[in-house]
Structure 1
């Protein structure tokens, strides 16, 4: 889904042709330690523990949703695309009451169903 043939620099292709390190490889743990240290700078914290999520954007969205709500809470989710519906799915699984606002109107989704 890129706009036509795209020239990729050999400088980019070389590292991409290397074997991929798994998330449990020692080198990956070292990388995550480095990321944690860099996040301390980004968030301007001196906390010893920084929790970075090793996963897809979907896992980050789910962690954010589940870190903000508790069972029985109410949330309003403006539904303007695919990720909005993911939020609805995550909230329903957490036992949250969801109101989904769509462009064409509003539909209440019951988490019990």
Structure 2
């Protein structure tokens, strides 16, 4: 009967997801916190697939994997202005993914 198509999840501990979003948001520090976040994310094999935590871990994993091609493209771009455009798009998109994911985690819904 609900008009919303947001998934309903049981109450669970999502502290790990908050911690990983925090690490991802520290990406200006040489991208190392993001790699640590990715490693911790991938190492979480015991998380049930139908849980809120699993949905956010998947969202984070796809965010990190998605920003890498844009950064590589910016690195190999032949012109400086092309590199700056690629980097700006990559950083803006990554910030959007972190912001949207963290807010939806706070609201208790899947991103």
Question: Could you tell me the TM-score, scaled by structure 1's length?
Answer: 0.22
Question: Could you tell me the TM-score, scaled by structure 2's length?
Answer: 0.23
Which structure dedicates a bigger proportion of its chain to helix?
2
Which structure dedicates a bigger proportion of its chain to strand?
1
Q: Which has the larger radius of gyration?
A: 1
